[in-house]
Structure 1
Amino acid sequence: MAPFLSTYFLVLISAQLVKSSGVFELKVHSFTTTSSSSSVCKEYRDCQVFFRVCLNYTQDVISYRLACSNGTGLTGTFSTDQSSISTSAPITVPFNLKWLGTVSVIIEAWNTESSNDQSAENLNSMISHFATKRDLTIGEKWSQDVHLGEQSKLRFSYRVVCDEFYYGDDCTDFCRSRDDPFGHFNCDAAGNRVCLPKWKGDYCAEPICSSGCSEEHGYCEAPGQCRCNYGWQGPRCDECMPHPGCMHGTCKQPWQCMCDEGWHGLLCDKGRND
């Protein structure tokens, strides 16, 4: 492989290994509030509600709303005349750092005057606020939870999943199937590289030579080949090349001329009587 391609390949792999990618997802299954929350809504039937989720990697629970140091996500606005609302699509909070497992989750319900206005600046418009610390492992399964506030009840579920092509307990293992000069492999369910037929190596970039090709004296640039190193020959590159001009001799290493019985001389071209 050319030096430029080798360098590019190593840089590409290194960049993939240091990056991670995934998403925290949260679904609101139901949210109810009492009529006593008139300080936020004159009447709950008139409320237009949206939800805001914040994440913060910390050892302690961070309960104030400005602690969104590791990402935030919003729902659309819900206009309702019922006492309970729910979201169909999950709130998503992407992350591009290594998932650390322990995170503070902050969930807020806000009232807004317009479906086009999702301002979370006026604290008087906040209907409900919930903060907790969770140890979250990567997985497809949803975890269920309920929050009971003074004037509201929130039922929700959440999970953390890796983005496409990312795997592992912290979403740092990158694997993307490829079949090009930089690799020939698919990825299994755990993100391990599985070489395509006739390829081998850590990144499946080494072709498998033809059957029987000498690993010591042969090589190949494409699967099924057997090209000989200098000084070796034969279909399997296991035959040494004798010294040029060797007439009646053999070799065990390239450029030797070991005379057959009855012959002598530098080129084994002299008989007993010579």
Structure 2
Amino acid sequence: MAQFLSTYFLVLLSAQLVKSSGVFELKVHSFTTSSSDVCKQSRDCQFFFRVCLNYTDNVISYRLACSNGTGLTGTMSTDQSSISTSEPITLPFKLKWLGTAAVIIEAWNAESSNDHPTEALNNMIGHFATKINLTIGQKWSQDVHLGEQSELCIGYRVVCDKFYYGDECSDFCRSRDDPYGHFTCDDTGSRICLPEWKGEYCAEPICSSGCSEEHGYCEAPSQCKCFFGWQGPRCDECTPYPGCLHGTCVRPWQCTCKKGWGGLLCNKDLNV
């Protein structure tokens, strides 16, 4: 096969990874090679791609351990001169995104649809390694890499996983409405309290209007429960001494007699 052009993949990781804080996405727009032994002259050319992500500056060796994720496409068959698709390969990562990473992209010849011979290096038909400097965002970066007998055109980006925000995808916010919080999240991951709730985690109810902040509290929105020694709809009335008949109070348990009354319980008529 004098000229072989094959491209691209639709992929998910073959196994479920630990919950990530972000996702590295990579598209292979085209992969072209002129190697004469590609797919061993087979009419039914089977191939797949492997993508490796590392938080390191070393992009020289394809034998680097994929410390921050590996993505494999399924085995593909093609005899076309050009193939393209918009679906990316995704590599979730758990650690904070540091902005710099090494990306290794490999194209492999597969002898059957179930064969991923990653250890048989003679089956590798293309290898590209690059260092990227990338900030979190929806915009795709584009790049072209030239090998001895091949060319690779790619696009890539880093986006935060669902519920994660910030420049490092390390700020977590997930809307909830339960005893542990009552809030939604805005586009930056900040908590927005639901109506009638307040506090850092929106777990504090807003009491009824006028409820004394000093002498009242609430366990649910629009309530006004009084602390011991206080009473009234707004908990702004002191509770007089028990049995106080014709007296008032400024603080709880007082019994200050009204004019014309006396005694401990203000029950003696001084006018008699």
Q: Would the aligned equivalents of 1:65 and 1:106 in 2 still touch at CA under 8 Å?
A: no
Q: Alpha-carbon deviation of 1:28?
A: 0.7
Q: Alpha-carbon deviation of 1:273?
A: 5.5
Q: Alpha-carbon deviation of 1:78?
A: 2.4
Match among 254, 267, 270 for residue 269 of structure 1 = 267
- Higher mean alpha-carbon deviation, 204-213 vs 159-168, is at 159-168
Aligned CA distance change for structure 1 residues 141 and 129 (closer, same or farther; 3 Å): same
Q: What is the CA deviation profile of residues 88-145 of structure 1, one whole-angstrom value per residue up to 9, with x for unaligned ones?
A: 4211111112222211111111111112112211111111111111122111111111
Give me the whole-angstrom Cα distance separating, in 2, the residues matched to 1:243 and 1:180. Answer: 41
Give me the whole-angstrom Cα distance separating, in 2, the residues matched to 1:79 and 1:55. Answer: 26
- SS of the equivalent of 2:122 reads helix
Partner of 1:200: 198
Give me the whole-angstrom Cα distance separating, in 2, the residues matched to 1:89 and 1:241. Answer: 71
- SS of the equivalent of 1:215 reads coil
Partner of 1:100: 98
Match among 118, 121, 145 for residue 119 of structure 2 = 121
- Higher mean alpha-carbon deviation, 221-230 vs 65-74, is at 65-74
- SS of the equivalent of 1:124 reads helix
1:116 corresponds to which letter in structure 2?
Answer: N
Q: Would the aligned equivalents of 1:199 and 1:207 in 2 still touch at CA under 8 Å?
A: yes
Aligned CA distance change for structure 1 residues 43 and 84 (closer, same or farther; 3 Å): farther
Q: Would the aligned equivalents of 2:247 and 2:257 in 1 still touch at CA under 8 Å?
A: yes
Give me the whole-angstrom Cα distance separating, in 2, the residues matched to 1:224 and 1:186. Answer: 21
Partner of 1:15: none
Aligned CA distance change for structure 1 residues 108 and 93 (closer, same or farther; 3 Å): same
Match among 156, 179, 182 for residue 181 of structure 1 = 179
- SS of the equivalent of 1:38 reads coil
Q: Alpha-carbon deviation of 1:38?
A: 2.1
Mapping for residues 122-137 of structure 1, pairs under 5 Å: 122-137=120-135
What is the percent sequence identity of the aligned residues? 78
Q: What is the CA deviation profile of residues 161-215 of structure 1, one whole-angstrom value per residue up to 9, with x for unaligned ones?
A: 1111111111211111111111111111111111111111111111111000001
TM-score, normalised by the number of residues in structure 2: 0.87
- Higher mean alpha-carbon deviation, 253-262 vs 56-65, is at 56-65
Q: Would the aligned equivalents of 2:20 and 2:92 in 1 still touch at CA under 8 Å?
A: no
Give me the whole-angstrom Cα distance separating, in 1, the residues matched to 2:118 and 2:20. Answer: 29
Give me the whole-angstrom Cα distance separating, in 2, the residues matched to 1:44 and 1:122. Answer: 18
Give me the whole-angstrom Cα distance separating, in 2, the residues matched to 1:57 and 1:175. Answer: 25
Q: Alpha-carbon deviation of 1:87?
A: 4.4
Q: Would the aligned equivalents of 2:49 and 2:108 in 1 still touch at CA under 8 Å?
A: yes
Partner of 2:23: 23
Match among 138, 144, 162 for residue 140 of structure 1 = 138
Q: Which runs of 5+ in 1 are unaligned?
A: 1-18
- Higher mean alpha-carbon deviation, 174-183 vs 259-268, is at 259-268
Q: Alpha-carbon deviation of 1:23?
A: 1.2
More helix as a share of residues: 1
Q: How many residues align?
A: 254
- SS of the equivalent of 2:61 reads coil
Q: What is the CA deviation profile of residues 38-70 of structure 1, one whole-angstrom value per residue up to 9, with x for unaligned ones?
A: 244444865322111001112443533333111
2:190 corresponds to which letter in structure 1?
Answer: N
Q: Which runs of 5+ in 2 are unaligned?
A: 1-18
Match among 151, 154, 159 for residue 157 of structure 2 = 159
Give me the whole-angstrom Cα distance separating, in 1, the residues matched to 2:84 and 2:42. Answer: 15
- SS of the equivalent of 2:219 reads coil
Partner of 2:56: 58
Aligned CA distance change for structure 1 residues 20 and 75 (closer, same or farther; 3 Å): closer
- Higher mean alpha-carbon deviation, 245-254 vs 43-52, is at 43-52
Q: Alpha-carbon deviation of 1:30?
A: 0.9
Matched, 1:74 2:75: no
Partner of 2:207: 209
Say what the alpha-carbon RMSD is for the aligned residues. Answer: 1.9
Partner of 2:248: 250
